[in-house]
Amino acid sequence: MEPQWNPTFYPQSPSVVFLFVVTFYTWLLPATSPQRIPTDPQAAPEYAHSIRLDGDIILGGLFPVHSRGDRGTPCGELKKEKGIHRLEAMMFAIDLINKDPELLPNITLGARILDTCSRDTYALEQSLTFVQALIERDGSDVRCANGDPPIFTKPDKIVGVIGAAASSVSIMVANILRLFKIPQISYASTAPELSDNTRYDFFSRVVPPDSYQAQAMMDIVTAMEWNYVSTLASEGNYGESGVEAFIQISRETGGVCIAQSLKIPREPRQGEFDKIIRRLLETSNARAIIMFANEDDIRRVLDAAKRNNQTGHFLWVGSDSWGSKISPVLGQVRVAEGAITILPKRASVDAFDRYFRSRSLSNNRRNVWFAEFWEENFNCKLGMHGKRPGSLKKCTGLEKVGRDSSYEQEGKVQFVMDAVYAMAHALHRMHRELCYGYPGLCPRMANIDGKELLSHIRAVNFNGSAGMPVVFNEKGDAPGRYDIFQYQISNRSTAEYRVIGSWTNKLHLKVDAMRWKTGDPSLPPSVCSVPCRAGERKKVVKGVPCCWHCERCEGYHYQASEFTCELCSYEMRPDANRTGCVPIPIIKLEWHSPWAVVPVFISMLGIIATSFVIVTFVRYNDTPIVRASGREMSYVLLTGIFLCYGITFLMIATPDVGVCSLRRIFLGLGMCFSYAALLTKTNRIHRIFEQGKKSVTAPRFISPASQLVITFSLISVQLLGVFVWFTVDPPHTVVDYGEQRTQDPMSARGVLKCDISDLSLICSLGYSILLMVTCTVYAIKTRGVPETFNEAKPIGFTMYTTCIIWLAFIPIFFGTSQSAERMYIQTTTLTISLSLSASVSLGMLYMPKVYIILFHPEQNVPKRKRSFKSPNPFCACPKGSTANVLVPGTTGHPHRSQVHVRTGQSCFVSMNGCSKL
């Protein structure tokens, strides 16, 4: 089994440290017995699985020369770019530094480069090589076979380490190197965890941490208007820390929700990636997938998406492990189309290209893995001992990189060289400080203090191999500088990574340069819920703020904010979009409305008829019929009838203070005039005949002047009530928004009306109705008088009909108080009721007289002696008797007369009884 290392465990005592080191040392070197330095030049080299370059100062190097092995083997296939290119970059940088007369003059750098095989535990074993020089070996119990003392190979003292690539490997190695105070500069490890100075205080890096990268990816997601995404991470520090940083930023900034956060196991089982794709499809709205995964896992995820026919569904957002690499998208261009990737800002180092293209088997023997690279790169076999089986062509050794094989500089070459140069500049600063003016290494630098070297590393500031400044912050991190790529398929059906933006503390994205599979220039969505339409509020799903249901603001509510609906003020209603409130339209009864046309038509006919009667009476003012009907009271009654017709126009006119004042005055005044006059008439008749039962003396106050005084006294009560009303509540207009406040606010209307409540209206009409009822009572009491006696019977029929009209008016008026058409119905009902009341009085009391006056003038003559058919049963006069009775004269005033009574007639007599002839 491979040893397992807990990166969170820190030894607290030297003895424990020693146990750790010894344990791993035994794992690293299975045969720890002393060995002699080989003298045979043909013997196998001591460093068969590492590269060693001699120098005054030795730097360590950790590179993933091989991929992770399968089935328990530590190492797998060779990595041409991430392995060979990078380690060659380190050796090339050392060559340049050693040739530079200004940088570390008279001091040569050497190197001890190891293969991590992309596995953290294996890298930990290999890194113990760097600390061998710091461990003293006890040879007291060691004896050679010939009795000579043992000779131990003196290991190289490593002053600093370049690497590793993977964050998980760097974390493992950093835990050992910090115990021995060996500074470490990584060229590719970006896990945010490594920024913790309390745990990884000797770790620095020339690439920005994933906390910057996560922020850049969050800015991309925000710029794309995606608020519902899933995350996918390779198990390990790099993937898990990157995703954790992204999730933390999403929580702090808000606006982006994580649908699912999935992890790819270190050793995925068969079908694991198909299972991941199915899991991601469970939240199909979360199309954007934030990936912090190694390139092998990326390739297998894309392949699984292709197998599951999900080409074009997912919107991939890849970290720098994807960057602009070809290997993850090789053979699956369509499924990767549109992927957005991020990569630390970099530039190609032309000098390295020239150097690497010049490498061959003859001039690059220091690279122990170069022969393997040669076979892999040129697809050939080196003799019988070549590592590539099969019947491949034989390598000639004359092949040339870039001519006989494709070549593109690996993306991290620049950072490898920057890491080596950062170490060199720190050593140069240290040399100037400790060995000023001393050529080569001085005694003070014989044993370089790692802590002191670290302080110089953190203080470097120079332009790197690509011309960009190399600096470190207090945590040992490089500044965040990224290029944003998108994997696009051009019109020629060729796929390539195109730069679409950059991020340096702020995102600069060229949205117009982006291309998607559909060809639609609009941004593809990755949202849990579509935006609500205008007038709809969001009802957020509990626990998932990016998912919501849209609820329309109903009734008189409008959308006050994204999440709330509020009620409009009483005089307002929502606008068409329900995003605000607008005033409710104000209406009134229009003259052209059918509700107004009918009452106006009836009123106009009534006014014409009333005017005609008045003109006729005035013209024939001295004729017997006009005089007998009581001219003064007739004119008062006709005035009331005219006012009853005329009030219709005031009720329909546009309300204002003047109109409202006139409504209050004349609404009950017309009826008051009419029924006060009729009440006075019927009361006069009743008193006359009641008095006649007691004596032949005429009752008091029956003259025309008295009748007018009584009538206007009754009218004055109505006027007094109106003036009191004016004083208590001055007339004004009001807009009634409740009358037509329908369930549909679009149909709501405000009604402009006079401020007259139903109660006030009834009080105004109440006095007139009281007069009407009293008049009806007297009409009933005088129903037995002779049919031509002072209009008693026509008045009775008038009052009966009027009572029926107003009894019908009350339920109609009050029964429609809740109707949306209340204003129209009540106004029309009131005006028509007044007009009908006036029409009944006009038709029954005056039309017969006008008819006689105009068409039968022969009947319009005085008649003093007339026989009466009195239905009164008070007294039956015998044949031949005489009676003293009150007989109406031509002027309307009664006088006493003796009447001859025929057999069977009855008559009105005084209390003296009947007298015989």
What percent of the chain clears pLDDT 70, i.e. is strictly above it? 83
DSSP letters for 482-506: EEEEEEEE-TTS-EEEEEEEEESSS
**Residue 221 in contact with residue 315, Cβ under 8 Å?**
no
Q: Select 50-135+154-182+350-361+410-467's CATH number: 3.40.50.12160, 3.40.50.300, 3.40.50.2300, 3.30.565.10.
A: 3.40.50.2300
Residue 700 phi/psi, 5-degree rounding, is: -80, 160
Mean pLDDT of 410-426: 95
Which pLDDT score is estimated for 15? 35
Tokens representing residue 378 in the block: 């040129």
Q: What gap in Å lies between CA 782 and CA 792, rounded to an integer? A: 6
Mean pLDDT of 119-127: 89
Render pLDDT for 306-354 as a digit per residue (tens, 0 to 9).
999 998 899 999 998 898 888 899 888 999 999 999 988 888 899 999 9
Q: Which residue has the higher pLDDT, 289 or 211?
A: 289
Render pLDDT for 93-106 as a digit per residue (tens, 0 to 9).
999 999 999 999 99
- Least trusted range by pLDDT, from 118-132, 521-535, 898-912: 898-912
Q: What gap in Å lies between CA 580 and CA 576, rounded to an integer? A: 9
Residue spans of the domains in the chain: they are 50-135+154-182+350-361+410-467, 210-345+480-513, 536-583, 594-855
Helix count and strand count (H, E) for the chain: 23, 30
Confidence band, pLDDT 50/70/90 cuts, at residue 824: confident
Q: Is the pLDDT of residue 57 over 90?
A: yes
Tokens representing residue 729 in the block: 């509540």
| Of the ranges 523-537, 781-795, 860-874, the best mean pLDDT one | 523-537
Q: Is the pLDDT of residue 5 over 80?
A: no
| CATH top class, domain 536-583 | mainly beta
Which pLDDT score is estimated for 25? 42
Render pLDDT for 30-41 as a digit per residue (tens, 0 to 9).
333 333 333 333
Contacts of 78 (CB under 8 A, 6+ apart): 65, 66, 67, 84, 369, 372, 373, 376
Q: What gap in Å lies between CA 679 and CA 772, rounded to an integer? A: 8
**Residue 617 in contact with residue 634, Cβ under 8 Å?**
yes
CATH topology for 594-855?
Rhopdopsin 7-helix transmembrane proteins (1.20.1070)
Q: Which helix (H) or strand (E) holds 870?
A: none
Kind of pairing between the strands at 228-234 and 257-264: parallel
Which pLDDT score is estimated for 46? 40
Q: Is the pLDDT of residue 586 over 50?
A: yes
Mean pLDDT of 13-26: 39
Kind of pairing between the strands at 203-205 and 184-186: parallel
Confidence band, pLDDT 50/70/90 cuts, at residue 856: confident
Residue 588 phi/psi, 5-degree rounding, is: -150, 170
Q: What gap in Å lies between CA 635 and CA 617, rounded to an integer? A: 9
The yes or no reply on domain 210-345+480-513 and CATH 3.40.50.2300 is yes
**Residue 237 in contact with residue 210, Cβ under 8 Å?**
no
Residue type, 305: A
Least Cα distance to 606 among 853, 842, 845, 849 occurs for 842
The length of the chain is 917
Residue 756 phi/psi, 5-degree rounding, is: -125, 110
Confidence band, pLDDT 50/70/90 cuts, at residue 137: low
On the question of a common fold for 50-135+154-182+350-361+410-467 and 210-345+480-513, the answer reads yes
Residues 402, 408, 414, 419: is their CA dihedral positive or negative? negative
Which pLDDT score is estimated for 627? 82
- Least trusted range by pLDDT, from 16-20, 288-292, 404-408, 437-441: 16-20
- Least trusted range by pLDDT, from 241-245, 613-617, 627-631: 627-631
Residue 611 phi/psi, 5-degree rounding, is: -60, -40
Q: What gap in Å lies between CA 888 and CA 630, rounded to an integer? A: 12
Find the DSSP H helices in 10-58.
Answer: 14-28
Q: What gap in Å lies between CA 640 and CA 674, rounded to an integer? A: 5
Render pLDDT for 766-817 as a digit per residue (tens, 0 to 9).
888 888 888 888 778 776 665 545 566 777 788 888 888 888 877 777 776 6
Tokens representing residue 868 in the block: 């009466």
Least Cα distance to 613 among 306, 349, 853, 361 occurs for 853
Which pLDDT score is estimated for 455? 95
